[in-house]
Every structure is written in C-alpha cells, then in structure tokens.
Chains A and B, each alone.
Chain A
C-alpha cells in the first residue's frame, strides 16, 4: 500500500494490522481453509483496534468448539472455558473486574444448546459483556452434528435424512430475554460486521451479536453448498432460511433479505453499576 487511503480500514488510531492483535507464534492456525470464523475474528480485532482498546484490558472468554478455539489466537487475556459456560465465567470475571472489556466468543451449539440458560440470564441481567456468537448451523468441532440453528432438511452426521427439528432465531431470543443491544451480520460484509461489533463493544450493557459464519469443510461439503466464496455470498439469500426467520430461498444475492445490522438497542441500566450503586447507598443508609 503506497499511500494511506482514508478508507474505513485506515480510519483508526493506526492502520489496522490484524497480526498485531494476534499471537503470531501460534500460527499456522487450526481453522479449515475458508472457515468463516476467521473472518469474524478479524472483524472483532478490527473493531477493538478502531475503539483503541488496550490489549491488557481485553478479556476474551470463549467456550468449546471451533469458535471457542479462536480466543487463544488473540494477544490479550484469554480464557478458554468449558462447553456452553463462557457467559457464566464472563459474568464472574466482569463483576469482579469491571475495568476489563469482557468479550465472549461462542458458537451456536455452545451458546444456544448447552449454554442456552446462561444466554437468557445474561441478557436479562444486562451486565456489560459483549457476546459474539458464530452461527455456522452446525457442531463444527465434533465433526458436523445437528445444532439448534441447523436449517430444516439440511444434512448433518446426526440427521442423515435431513434435519426435522425447528430452529432458534437467536436474535429474537436475546431481545425477548432483555439484551439491550442485539445485532446480526454476515461475514462477507466484513467492514459492516466490524462496525456492528464496535457498536456492541461500545454499548453499556449486554450486547449480543450473531455472526452468520460458515463451516465450509464439514457442513458445506455435506450439503453441497459450494466453496467458501460461494457459501458466504449466498448467506443472505439462501443458506440459512430458518435460523433467522424464514428468509426466502431461491433468490439470488439480495443484500437486505435477512434482518441484519442493529436489531435492538436500549439504554436499560447496566447491571454491574446498578449493583454497586445500590450497595453503596445501602451502606450509607445503614
């Protein structure tokens, strides 16, 4: 790059170089070629960069899954916890250390199946945590079993005749449970995803971002969804009609076909502050 362009990518404090946010000695990374999770991580680092977050104050808390493995690559305080429980660990960490930027990275299985109870209560409490859920419609890490967001009729290793169960719309779930910031984006629109994540991290309260990711190697192959570029380009129109509320299939790429962007934002009181100020005034009153 000869001259600094004033593009979104260079509008931060310094030019964004994703490698300066990653633990280089862990490379090569473990992701399959074309996996959408890597794009999501790049967008998250880009958002942190543009917000000027101090790496020492970033705490990435992740669960178990391909999504959960991302945390280790971030040059920050990283906590790779147990399957489904990163929000529980993050709740303790954030309450004990309100000075940290606590960011959870989780998967559709981690967050909505085994960890579903923690998600709804995290939304209800509205503690200042950002939760980035990577929805690839499948259990990637364990070899491609059905997940709570697998679209109907899709093949997985445990739905050999196509999925017969209904799916979650995780954003509606988060909103109904009280999350004060909810958004969704696809990985192909990386700068937009970065901006959404920036807003989410900046938001005071619990923010939930669903990233429509892709498991190219396992889910993509099994369902003949094409190669990685084909998969991510078709995300808005075809790939995941059920998990985000019945978007029409058969259409070519339509940028606005699925509800993306900021879906909910409110200034409901953040829980940590509410707790601390209530306790402080009860101490004075006593």
Chain B
C-alpha cells in the first residue's frame, strides 16, 4: 500500500518478522498473544518492536485471553493485534465473534498448520480457510486475507489494519507455515510514505451520538473512552443506541446492516491476482504458497501449448466471486490447488457450479509443487 514515490529499504526478512514490522508501521501499538508454532516469531518480534514506539506487548495466559485483551485495547482506542496457529485460532473464536458484533477493529494473524487438534505443528497446511470464515458462531461477515510472499505479508498486514479500521471489523490474515518462515527480500517502505487509515471517531455532541448509527457507508463512528460519550458496548444484539434489544424488527434491521456492511466497499476489500486468464481453458484457483506453485505450473503448461491461467484471491473472504466468474469464462476446467482436503473448492463450486471444478490437494504436510499441478492438468486432458 505504499504510495508511488516511496523510498524503500531492501531487507531480507522472514515472513513472520515482516508481519510484525508491518503491524507497527500500520500503527499497531498493542499486542497480546500466546506462543504457538509456527507463529511465535510474530510475538517475539512484537515484544522487541512495540516498546520502541511506546506500545505494549503482553504474553497472556492463553489465546482466549489474548483475543479478549486485544479487543479491550482496541475498545480503548489503540490498534491491536494477536498471532496464533490453528489450535489457538479455535480458542479465539468466541471473542472474535464479539469483535464482529461489537464492531471492534483488530487484526488476527493465523500462521496455519494442519489439524484437527495438534496436527503437525511444524508442517505447512492451509487448513483454516473455513475456520476463518465460519469459526465463530452465528451469521456473520469477516475479512480474511492470504498473502503469497514475504513482501505481500508486509503489504497485506498494513492493509489488514487499514480495512479493520475503515470497516470496524476484525480482519484475519491467513499465512501458511512456508510463507511465515520463508526469508525473502522485502523493499520495506518508508513508514512515512504508507497510507495508514484510522477509524472514524465520533465528533458530534455526546447527546447526539448514537454508537451504532451508520451513514451510507454502513460503518458507525466509534467513541473513545474518556472523550465524554460514555458508551455501552455489548456482545448482545443491540440497537443503534448500543443497548440490547429483542424487538424483531430492530434485530432484523441491525443484523442486516452488520451482514451487508461490506457490500458497498467490495472494490476496496476484494483483491486478487490474475495470470493468463483471458483465454485460459484450464484455470487454476490458488492462494498463499500454493499459488506460487500454480504460477510455475501455468508457465510450464503454456510452454507446452496448454492454455492455462491462474486466479489468485488475496482477499479470500468475502470471496471475490464476480472476478472469478469473469476469469473462468472460457475455462473448461477449474483446478483448485490448496493444502487441505478441499476447502476453498467448496466456495469455487458454489460460484461456478460443480461440473468443471476439481481439486489439487495435499494433506501430507508437504507444500504443493508445480509438478503436482502439471500432473493434474495432464490427467484431465
């Protein structure tokens, strides 16, 4: 998200470290977490970086507490983040839902592993695509981003904070173990050149302020404790005043505002990469490290005269369905390459129908290789 005339500073960075540096550059001043492989370097780096900017780092007693603490900090007006992996992400889900309904901006990093349960802590997987979408209970929307390089980890962490602030919502960054531990050269932008978004603060008189009343943009302005608004925040379904309600008409109205909150903003939220999609007869859909194998496979296939293309959602939830429909116009086959038994596939099938869609999946703790995808392309030919 660096502006055009950016001065950068080339550094070799590990994905998890890049994430921490980007968070601080985006204005994060509070981190709470609980150690878990393969995410712990995010916490370690935050414990070093935050004191330099008068921020606060705390290692909490568990992931439930970590999620609660970052919500508490954000409700206090301070940008906050936590990082974890699958088992810890499961523990955060109830409080994550609180963040959704109370509309508390925050960023949750999940450096994924396989599962269920402890799974393979040090092996790569992309097992939490559906947990990220549906992990907390009830109908809800959430923004989930999956970067495919260390540079993109940096960029997308900054963007995650910006989206969280702009839309008053938790944003999840799904990183896979390969990207989290990969060291690549990142052109770190000069922090002063970054576009950093801050949430809309209440600026009307206290007696005029309705904490959950939103304008056209569907996003209500937030009040900072201490500024005289004395707001009530609750995880109970509440009306525009912030106080609980069970009046069916009101509940329907406020729930729909929350469910449709991202609709007018899809241009800003959706983010994807396309490679050779225009004439693609075989379209590969992939994200994270798997998409890099897919990029290689597309090149090899093209060299062999096969019209292959890649659609890579960077924002995976909400799913960029319009863009996918367009990219898949000419495709006879859609291959969804992911390190799980077929999670994003389900969404691709929902959008494109089941006939053309099949998966390229690995659940053995190994990353998908270009050869795996080339094989799959060959099998259908």
Distance of B97 from chain A, by nearest CB (Å): 8
- By beta carbon, the residue of chain B nearest A26 is B243
Query: For the complex, what is the distance from the CA of A118 to the CA of B69, rounded to whole Å?
Result: 11
Question: Are A96 and B73 in contact, CB atoms less than 8 angstroms apart?
Answer: yes
Q: Which of B72-96 contact A (CB under 8 A)?
A: 72-78, 80, 94-95
Instruction: Kindly identify which residue among A59, A79, A96, A283 contacts B30, using a CB–CB cutoff of 8 Å.
Output: A96
Question: Are A89 and B78 in contact, CB atoms less than 8 angstroms apart?
Answer: no
Q: B64 at interface (Cβ–Cβ under 8 A)?
A: yes
In the assembled complex, 12 residue pairs joining A and B whose CB atoms fall closer than 8 Å, in A order, are A72-B232, A78-B231, A80-B236, A82-B95, A88-B66, A89-B72, A96-B30, A96-B80, A97-B226, A117-B62, A121-B65, A275-B56
Q: Which of B139-160 contact A (CB under 8 A)?
A: none
Q: A55 at interface (Cβ–Cβ under 8 A)?
A: yes
The size of the chain A interface, using a CB distance under 8 A, is 38
Question: Are A81 and B225 in contact, CB atoms less than 8 angstroms apart?
Answer: no
**B60 — which chain A residues lie within 8 A by C-beta?**
88, 91, 121
Question: Are B235 and A81 in contact, CB atoms less than 8 angstroms apart?
Answer: yes
Q: B279 at interface (Cβ–Cβ under 8 A)?
A: no
Query: For the complex, what is the distance from the CA of A69 to the CA of B337, rounded to whole Å?
Result: 48
Distance of B215 from chain A, by nearest CB (Å): 24
Question: Are B225 and A92 in contact, CB atoms less than 8 angstroms apart?
Answer: no
Q: A100 at interface (Cβ–Cβ under 8 A)?
A: yes
Instruction: Kindly identify which residue among B73, B226, B230, B234 contacts A99, using a CB–CB cutoff of 8 Å.
Output: B226
Instruction: Kindly identify which residue among B62, B73, B244 contacts A92, using a CB–CB cutoff of 8 Å.
Output: B73
**B77 — which chain A residues lie within 8 A by C-beta?**
96-97
- By beta carbon, the residue of chain A nearest B51 is A279
Question: Do A56 and B227 contact each other (CB < 8 Å), given the known contacts A85-B95, A118-B61?
Answer: yes
Instruction: Kindly identify which residue among A26, A90, A91 contacts B58, using a CB–CB cutoff of 8 Å.
Output: A91
The size of the chain B interface, using a CB distance under 8 A, is 44
**B78 — which chain A residues lie within 8 A by C-beta?**
96-97
**A59 — which chain B residues lie within 8 A by C-beta?**
76, 225
Q: A202 at interface (Cβ–Cβ under 8 A)?
A: no
**B231 — which chain A residues lie within 8 A by C-beta?**
77-78
Question: Are A92 and B69 in contact, CB atoms less than 8 angstroms apart?
Answer: yes
- By beta carbon, the residue of chain B nearest A124 is B61
Question: Are B51 and A91 in contact, CB atoms less than 8 angstroms apart?
Answer: no
Q: A29 at interface (Cβ–Cβ under 8 A)?
A: no
Query: For the complex, what is the distance from the CA of A100 to the CA of B54, rounded to whole Å?
Result: 18
**A118 — which chain B residues lie within 8 A by C-beta?**
61, 65, 68
Query: For the complex, what is the distance from the CA of A81 to the CA of B95, rounded to whole Å?
Result: 8
Distance of B66 from chain A, by nearest CB (Å): 8
- CB 8 Å contact bits of A270-283 with B (1 = contact, 0 = none): 00000100010011
Q: A93 at interface (Cβ–Cβ under 8 A)?
A: yes
A sample of 12 more A-B contacts (CB under 8 A), given A93-B76, A96-B76, is: A61-B72, A75-B230, A80-B236, A88-B65, A88-B69, A89-B68, A92-B70, A92-B80, A96-B74, A97-B77, A100-B226, A117-B65
**B30 — which chain A residues lie within 8 A by C-beta?**
92, 95-96
Question: Are B72 and A93 in contact, CB atoms less than 8 angstroms apart?
Answer: yes
Question: Are B71 and A89 in contact, CB atoms less than 8 angstroms apart?
Answer: yes
- CB 8 Å contact bits of A85-116 with B (1 = contact, 0 = none): 10111111111110110000000000000000
Instruction: Kindly identify which residue among A85, A88, A97, A282 contacts B225, using a CB–CB cutoff of 8 Å.
Output: A97
**B54 — which chain A residues lie within 8 A by C-beta?**
279
**A61 — which chain B residues lie within 8 A by C-beta?**
72
Query: For the complex, what is the distance from the CA of A71 to the CA of B29, rounded to whole Å?
Result: 27
Q: B32 at interface (Cβ–Cβ under 8 A)?
A: yes
Instruction: Kindly identify which residue among B61, B80, B233, B243 contacts A117, using a CB–CB cutoff of 8 Å.
Output: B61
Q: A57 at interface (Cβ–Cβ under 8 A)?
A: yes
Q: B228 at interface (Cβ–Cβ under 8 A)?
A: yes
Question: Are A88 and B72 in contact, CB atoms less than 8 angstroms apart?
Answer: yes
Query: For the complex, what is the distance from the CA of A117 to the CA of B30, rounded to whole Å?
Result: 22
- CB 8 Å contact bits of B40-52 with A (1 = contact, 0 = none): 0000000000011
Query: For the complex, what is the distance from the CA of A91 to the CA of B95, rounded to whole Å?
Result: 15
Q: Which of B221-259 contact A (CB under 8 A)?
A: 225-236, 243-244
